[in-house]
Structure formats: C-alpha cells, structure tokens
Amino acid sequence: MTDNLNLPPFELKISEQAGKKCVWDPIRKLWTALTPEEYVRQGFVAYLCGHKGYPMSHIANERSIELNGMSRRCDSVVYDRAGVPKVIVEYKSANVAISRKVFDQIVRYNLVLHVDYLIVSNGLKHYCVRMDYENHSYSFMQDIPMYDSL
C-alpha cells in the first residue's frame, strides 16, 4: 500500500470499525478513519520518526489553535525538547496538488504558533520552508531537517 507515495515503506495497523476502515494513530493513541489524507499523515510521521530522528512524543496530531476567534487544527506540530513548537506540517491526499492555497493555510496557522519550519506534503511532493522572522522572509529547503537541527 505504501508504494504509491514518495515515502520510505511504512506499516499501518488497520482495522474495520462500524463498517469503516480505520488506522491506529500512535501519536493520538486512537483509531481514526483511514482517509487518503490520514494515510499521508501516518506515512509522513513514520518518515519523520524513522528517518529524521523526530521523537514521537514530540509530535502532536490535530493540534487545536485559535485563529481570529475561530478554532482551527494543525495537521501535525513538532515540538523541541523544551516543548516549544518548531514545525507545522500540513497534509493533503495524494490526489490534491500542493498549491498557494495550501501554503496560505499553513501560514495562517503560523500566525499563532510562530514556528521555524513549515512543511506541506501530499505524500508525493514535500515542501519545507524555513522562516526568517528577522528579514520577514522564508526560504525553501532542499530536504526536511533532522530533528536535532531544529
């Protein structure tokens, strides 16, 4: 099932609940609907933890924030060892192109969290930008940073 994404192979715990396919989310410690976006999230989190050294205990999935008086949810937020948010990740299903609209969404979330890195992935293409608050700019990175370099 993982061969259709541009991610290293990963395993999922899948079950059927109330007639729907569900996947075990080890971060939230719950079964959740196995949607195409959730499939990308689980694969990307497995990549971050297994290949980039991100501790699972420092990742929050579906992290709630308040933006302009409205409740929103970041797909994933990565924290440093002191509990400071460092990365926001936004996932889309593999059939959704990464567009300016997707980046606009994650940038709005960053108005609240002020992280150093923004990552967008549809499982096929992954984009990572490093924020430069001093110069009011950002730069695209060639690769996703290792956890220890956050």
pLDDT digits (tens, 9 = 90+) for 17-72: 889 999 999 999 999 999 999 999 999 999 999 999 999 999 999 999 998 898 99
Check pLDDT > 60 for residue 3.
no
Closest CA to 56 of 10, 102, 2: 10
Q: How many Cβ atoms from other residues are within 10 Å of residue 64's Cβ?
A: 9
- Under the banding of pLDDT at 50, 70 and 90, the label for residue 2 is very low
CA 136 to the chain's CA centroid: 23
Helix, strand, coil % in the chain, rounded to nearest 5:
25, 35, 35
In whole angstroms, what is the distance from residue 21 CA to residue 17 CA?
A: 6
pTM over 0.85: yes
What is the residue-averaged pLDDT of the chain? 94
Check pLDDT > 70 for residue 147.
yes
Both tokens assigned to 6: 């541009």
Both tokens assigned to 33: 């609907």
Closest CA to 32 of 49, 18, 47: 18
Just give the CATH number of 12-143.
3.90.1570
Q: Domain extents for the chain? A: 12-143
User: Which amino acid is located at 80 in the chain?
Assistant: D
